[in-house]
Structure 1
Amino acid sequence: MNNKAVLRIACLLWAVAVPAFGETVSLKEAVQRALANNHLLKAAALEEGAAREGVAGSKSRYLPRVSLESGALLSTTPSSVFMMKLDEGRINPASDFAAGKLNNPDPRGDFRTLVRLDQPLIDFNVATGVKLAEKDAETAQAALRQAREQVAFRVYLAYLEVRRARAFREIADQALADAREHLRLAQVRERDGVGLKSDQLRAATEVSEAEQALVTAQNEVQLARLRLNLVLGGPEGEALDIGGVPQLSDPDQRQDLAALALKSRPDLAVAEQAVQKGELAVRQAKNAYLPTVYASASYQVNDRDLPLGYDHDSWNVGVNLRWDIFDGTRRSHEKGRAELSRQAAAEVLEDRRREVGLQVTEARLRRQEAAARLVSARGALQAAQEGVRLVTLRFAGGLSSMVELMDAEATLNRSRANLVEVENAELRSAAQLYHASGVLVTEVLR
């Protein structure tokens, strides 16, 4: 069995083994599906939900705290034994105040049940803690927006990758058809006595190479479609096809993208939240110098024999003020650390702002570069097509060799592939500019 037969069998097996390509989706549909089903986005949404729960948990510190305690104690310690009897209401003045019983009591047990309520009245850190939790929630929300932008950009790139793979497969199809035509011409020329056997062998080699390239191109199409489905969060193993060339509004008509980026970029919002959290941390460190006031109340039941039993009960209500006057220098160092961390966050924010401005400028320049390269690539393709046409005529007239014809065809195929790459780069440059401005999702879903 020769190599040509092996390749044809491989192509047939590939066609049977590869699953159906599945449905076709437009760019807008693809982004909408990804925003609903992408697993990384779901994780970011869950993180935001967790941050919201943190806010609710912080606010709950305003509410009273109620606890239930139940315990048992067995002791011969004089003070403990006396207090057990007192709490149970079992003090007998006639016998319990005797020196022997007071100093050397018999072992005694007690079951105590206590319900306690604590209520903050003045605690400035509670309010600061709530605001910090709210900033965490806002940061998580900005992170979710950032994840949406990143997923939309990944969808766009995956969409372009399918377009590229399909175009390369078409180029491989055309290259195989051209190679077979060259082989036919070489066989005709040899049969007519005007060609060389080496030309026929060289053409046969070209056909084999083109068949191999086509198998690779077909696999690349299938893999690109599977990757598109993966980014969209579709069922495992499905492949999606694209519904045409992705179209976005021309960003060259927008002169406000740099200013828009400063307002819209989610990563800038995250950096801004870090600065605000730093300010709150400084406030929290200052609050450590202030007093706290808490109210408390408790109800206690004691029993000598039974858990949760009732021999005697008691209650108390009180207010407690705590003011740490001196704790070494811990609070001053905590305040200094918080202030330095806030300044560091501010420096990071300023760097991010400058970086965003540079990214928008770079994306705009890359787009201009892509447009210029596109004009050049189209001109190169036209020149290569004309070159192949002329060499083909010369070859048919016996004025050019098979090697010259194949070199011209190779140049044409490179020009076709280069045009596909440049067209993809031009399409990608629009998405990159909107992505750098933080509004890609808005533009795609417009």
Structure 2
Amino acid sequence: MNINKLALKILLMLVAISAPSDSNAQQLDPVLQDLIQKGLNKNLNITSNRIDAEQAKVDQQLAKSVFLPKISLNGSYTRLNDDITFDQNTQTLLAATQKLVIKEAIGLPFNSPFPGNIPLQDIPNLQNKNILKSSVDLDWVLFSGLEASNALKASKHKESSLNYLGLAEKDKVALQIIETYDKLALVKASQKVLTTSENYLDEQVFYVKKAIENGLTTPLNRKKIELAQQQLAAKQLDFEHNSILLVELLHQLTGESKETLKLLNPQLRSISIIETANSEKRNEIKALEEAERATEYQIKMEKSSFIPKVAVKGHYEFIEDDLSLLDPKWFIGAGIKWNLYDGGQSRLKSKKAQLENEKYREKIQDAEEMIALSIIKAELSLESSKQNTKIVEKEIELASDTYEMVNKQYKNNLASINDVLEALTDVEKANFKLQESYFNERRAATDLLHAKGILAY
């Protein structure tokens, strides 16, 4: 078989291997899926967002804990400068009253002298100067005026908003990894094209060498081919550098080892978009809607500060000896707190939340318009890239046939070596354009899936 025909068949096989194969919009290369999952686990923004969502869950627990009873144990020791006693007149009155009670008890008239052999009890202190206390307190909110309930609902919507933001961030990371992976596939495919071109040039070197030996051509033609080989080597080096940079970027995005990434051999394949597939609401829109709902409950929470609040309080003293005569051993009671005027703080906070709510509404409308525009743009881009692929495939066919014809003419002294090299360059350029067209087609398809909210990974 003719060497030239063999090289042409190798080129056509390369085109066939690189040609786009239809795949379901929800399927990706398993290797790419694994890289995406590693990238999602590594990304700091996603981790930070997850922590924020956990904090929102803690806020919910705090709101619920308002209705749980609070029990506290207390202990204290106090030493006064002196005992707290009744004043002298009161002590005299209490002593006289004690004598009257005793005389009445033993049957003596009230105006008779008090017997000297009967001792009187000391008047107790109101409070001893050494005070040791140990007690337990109970505080229990029975009704918070709906403030805690609204705070709980606001926290739930905030958590949902953060979760949707996390999903949106995952989409961004996945898109970045997919694009980098596809760029690496483009570089690999382009390197194969250069290898095929190198085979063509090697064939020409062999032919020119034989022609020079037989006096059919001049050494100048060999130098022209050598120049073309040097230019090809420069292109190969450029693509090698691009491959190194893309491997480094994938390493940073996913944490996968560079040695493993260097062994990857990704293929460019187009993503088939099902025309009847319905769009889903983007995670960015869901996040904004949940944030908007959270502000609605914040408004209600601020307004509910004027609703009366009901609570129960209890107290029990473990040590009775150091209690004053006026201190109870225990008590329990219910109370109500009604905030009638707080200097306008609740009104201002409610207004601030209302403005925040309006801001989210504007963001939602703007995001919906931008997404609708991005869908149209991606659809048009996908249609153009598919059409361009068909055109480039025809260009490859024409360039290959032209090269084969010019090469035959050159061998029959009907064309110059410049014509052959120019035809070979056209074949090379056409194959590069095909790989780029596959890449652009895949980019448009991925962007369309993302814009419609149906990107799966």
Per the normalisation by structure 2, the TM-score is 0.74
* 1:323-338 equivalences in 2 (<5 Å): 323-338=338-353
Question: Corresponding residue for 1:61?
Answer: 66
Q: Distance in 2 between matches of 1:53 and 1:33?
A: 32
2:228 aligned to which of 192, 206, 211: 206
- Give the drift of 1:162: 3.3
Question: Corresponding residue for 1:17?
Answer: none
* 1:312-323 equivalences in 2 (<5 Å): 314-323=329-338
What secondary structure, in the 3-state scheme, does the structure 1 residue paired with 2:360 have? helix
- Give the drift of 1:269: 0.3
1:145 corresponds to which letter in structure 2?
L
Report if the CA contact (8 A) 1:26-1:244 is conserved.
no
Change (3 A) 1:320 1:33: farther
2:315 corresponds to which letter in structure 1?
S
2:264 aligned to which of 241, 258, 268: 241
Question: Corresponding residue for 1:287?
Answer: 304
1:339 aligned to which of 354, 372, 379: 354
What secondary structure, in the 3-state scheme, does the structure 2 residue paired with 1:317 have? strand
Change (3 A) 1:64 1:398: same
Question: Corresponding residue for 1:187?
Answer: 209
What secondary structure, in the 3-state scheme, does the structure 1 residue paired with 2:65 have? helix
Q: Distance in 2 between matches of 1:246 and 1:51?
A: 42
Change (3 A) 1:243 1:410: closer
Q: Distance in 2 between matches of 1:177 and 1:38?
A: 44
Change (3 A) 1:236 1:168: closer
Question: Corresponding residue for 2:104?
Answer: none
Q: Distance in 2 between matches of 1:399 and 1:110?
A: 122
* 1:71-150 equivalences in 2 (<5 Å): 71=76, 73=78, 76=81, 82=84, 94=123, 96=125, 110=131, 112-123=133-144, 124-150=146-172
Report if the CA contact (8 A) 1:149-1:439 is conserved.
no
Q: Distance in 2 between matches of 1:187 and 1:266?
A: 65
Report if the CA contact (8 A) 2:161-2:287 is conserved.
yes
Question: Corresponding residue for 1:89?
Answer: none
Q: Distance in 2 between matches of 1:187 and 1:113?
A: 109
Q: Distance in 2 between matches of 1:321 and 1:375?
A: 79
1:54 corresponds to which letter in structure 2?
D
Change (3 A) 1:282 1:51: closer
Q: Distance in 2 between matches of 1:75 and 1:404?
A: 114
- Which stretch of structure 1 is more off in the superposition, 161-170 or 48-57? 48-57
What secondary structure, in the 3-state scheme, does the structure 2 residue paired with 1:251 have? coil
Change (3 A) 1:388 1:70: farther
2:342 corresponds to which letter in structure 1?
D
Report if the CA contact (8 A) 1:381-1:415 is conserved.
yes
- Give the drift of 1:95: 7.8
- Give the drift of 1:71: 4.7
2:316 corresponds to which letter in structure 1?
Y
Change (3 A) 1:42 1:341: closer
Q: Distance in 2 between matches of 1:48 and 1:28?
A: 30
Report if the CA contact (8 A) 2:36-2:174 is conserved.
yes
- Give the drift of 1:109: 6.3
How many residue pairs get matched? 387
1:121 corresponds to which letter in structure 2?
L
Percent of aligned pairs with the same amino acid: 15
Report if the CA contact (8 A) 1:299-1:316 is conserved.
yes
Change (3 A) 1:390 1:294: same
What secondary structure, in the 3-state scheme, does the structure 2 residue paired with 1:115 have? strand
Question: Corresponding residue for 2:93?
Answer: none
2:285 corresponds to which letter in structure 1?
L
Change (3 A) 1:340 1:45: closer
Q: Distance in 1 between matches of 2:369 and 2:130?
A: 72
Question: Corresponding residue for 2:92?
Answer: none
Q: Distance in 2 between matches of 1:93 and 1:420?
A: 109
What is the alpha-carbon root mean square deviation over aligned residues? 3.3
Question: Corresponding residue for 1:400?
Answer: 415
Q: Distance in 2 between matches of 1:95 and 1:113?
A: 22
Q: Distance in 2 between matches of 1:57 and 1:400?
A: 86
Question: Corresponding residue for 2:286?
Answer: 269
Change (3 A) 1:385 1:322: same
Q: Distance in 1 between matches of 2:330 and 2:192?
A: 88
Q: Distance in 1 between matches of 2:249 and 2:405?
A: 41
Q: Distance in 2 between matches of 1:110 and 1:392?
A: 114
2:198 aligned to which of 172, 176, 189: 176
Report if the CA contact (8 A) 1:183-1:203 is conserved.
yes
Change (3 A) 1:109 1:246: farther
Change (3 A) 1:252 1:205: same
Q: Distance in 2 between matches of 1:236 and 1:59?
A: 49
Q: Distance in 1 between matches of 2:438 and 2:138?
A: 71
Change (3 A) 1:29 1:173: closer
- Give the drift of 1:176: 1.9
Report if the CA contact (8 A) 1:122-1:294 is conserved.
yes
- CA offsets 1:342-380 (integer angstroms, 9 cap, x no match): 112111111112222112111111111111211222122
Report if the CA contact (8 A) 2:36-2:177 is conserved.
yes
1:384 aligned to which of 388, 394, 399: 399
- CA offsets 1:296-318 (integer angstroms, 9 cap, x no match): 22334569xxxxxx855933322
- Give the drift of 1:227: 5.0
- Give the drift of 1:417: 0.8
> Segments of 4+ in structure 1 off by > 6 A?
none
Per the normalisation by structure 1, the TM-score is 0.75
- Which stretch of structure 1 is more off in the superposition, 167-176 or 225-234? 225-234
Where structure 1 has 5 or more consecutive residues not aligned to the other structure, the ranges are: 1-24, 84-91, 304-309
Where structure 2 has 5 or more consecutive residues not aligned to the other structure, the ranges are: 1-26, 86-120
Change (3 A) 1:326 1:50: closer
2:432 corresponds to which letter in structure 1?
A
Q: Distance in 1 between matches of 2:237 and 2:315?
A: 81
Q: Distance in 1 between matches of 2:383 and 2:432?
A: 21
Report if the CA contact (8 A) 1:278-1:342 is conserved.
yes
Q: Distance in 2 between matches of 1:175 and 1:71?
A: 93
Change (3 A) 1:221 1:235: closer
